[in-house]
């Protein structure tokens, strides 16, 4: 494990999201772990701290909002980025209230999420 690398966890119940994001982010030098079930992602964050967490909101089982609440509780310093296909003002507001770093509505371009991740990284480094 290269300690200089930023760790990212991705949680989305549709495999297409992780399949596309993981190699793309790894090529940019990030360590990436992906999950399609919130249960497994929850188990994983209890074992390991991630610098950045990217999560969908609407999923079966524990939904994204619960998951990100848990993440922020365990690691207030972890930056959470929400990606959702059901973007509404309300969900966006609630996410920000919970301390989410940014909120992206699907579909978005790879470049857009990369920009957000870079900003989150800068945020972490500047603390």
**Residues in the site for another protein, rule: CB under 8 A?**
12, 14-17, 19-24, 26-31, 83, 85-86, 106-111, 113
Closer to another protein by Cβ: residue 13 or 75? 13
Contact at 8 Å (CB) between 94 and 63?
Answer: no
In the bound state with another protein, the residue whose beta carbon lies nearer, of 26 and 48, is: 26
Least distance CB 61 / another protein (angstroms): 17
Question: Are 35 and 9 contacting, i.e. CB atoms less than 8 angstroms apart?
Answer: yes
CB of 112 to another protein, least distance (A): 9
| Beta strand ranges found along 21-68 (DSSP E) | 31-35, 52-56
The least distance separating another protein from the CB of residue 56, rounded to whole angstroms, comes to 8
Give dist(CA 87, CA 56) in Å, integer: 10
């Amino acid at each position: 494990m290269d300690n200089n690398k930023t760790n990212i966890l991705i949680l989305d119940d549709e495999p297409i999201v992780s399949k596309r994001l993981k190699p793309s982010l790894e090529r940019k030098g990030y360590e990436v772990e992906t999950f399609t079930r919130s249960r497994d992602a929850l188990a994983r964050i209890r074992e390991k701290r991630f610098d950045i967490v990217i999560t969908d909101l609407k999923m079966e089982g524990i939904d994204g909002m619960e998951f990100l609440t848990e993440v922020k509780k365990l690691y207030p310093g972890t930056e959470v980025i929400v990606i959702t296909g059901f973007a509404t003002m309300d969900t966006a507001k609630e996410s920000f209230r919970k301390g989410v770093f940014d909120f992206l509505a699907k579909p978005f371009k790879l470049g857009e999420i990369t920009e957000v991740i870079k900003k989150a990284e800068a945020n972490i480094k500047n603390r």
